[in-house]
Homo-oligomer: A and B are copies of this chain.
């Protein structure tokens, strides 16, 4: 409605309010180099750029945004996510920050366990922990299994695998019952950075045809090397030592891995029962070998 001078939003903001990149950098606590980068990325373009000199000019009101960016970067938020926060309304921005921080805390929690594990490994002799495991070999007949497979990080693993086990177990009951020990196959590593995939397998009677609600497949007969774990040994990251023990044994034998590692539950209904009945042994960690 006012005289159209091309400037959106500001009624009468004088040109003298514009700040050079140096002043703007000090006020916003960002380096000039960072500001040039944010300009190139479109994250924080200057209010005005002199067409001949290329000089960047920022508006006072941009200091607040720049400060927010500086704070978010101090939280190690990637610039792509920073851009989302900047673009979103305030409330949504707060949610995104909360999400980012929750992810950081999950990651750090995993690393905290790992750090303790590494320290105790280094200070406490090293070999002794592995020596405690007895590796055995057994033949596993082929099985018909109901399965669910998914990518999960270590923080989501327990929740998901319990839920999947429950779903598959109840499906199995409808098909004549669970015909063997429940197991999980790890096709890829599962930790703070890597997400598998993981497959939960519930054996059923081979004679029964599956219903389409869950994937049904044959797990082929094989020979496997395994160790049996107590509840304490099954905790992350201690369980890594169990995997290491089996791998060392296989290497020492000159045997060959022919499949992804797996955990076979010893107690029916898996970990939930284990918690309430506190058995002395909860599961086996195994590698198929030739």
Contact = CB atoms under 8 A, between A and B. Distances in A.
Contacts of A193: 74
B119 A75 contact: no
Interface residues of A, number: 45
Interface in A81-116: 85, 90-91, 93-94, 97-98, 100-101, 104-105, 108, 111-112, 114-115
Dominant SS among interface residues on chain A: helix
Interface stretch (A42-50, A64-72, A272-280): A64-72
B122 A75 contact: no
A119 B94 contact: yes
Interface string A254-290: 0001000000000000000000000000000000000
A123 B94 contact: yes
A111 B76 contact: yes
Nearest to A16: B254
Given A72-B118, A75-B118, A90-B123, 17 more contacts: A63-B248, A67-B244, A68-B122, A71-B117, A71-B118, A75-B111, A75-B114, A75-B115, A76-B111, A90-B122, A94-B123, A97-B115, A97-B118, A97-B119, A98-B119, A101-B112, A104-B115
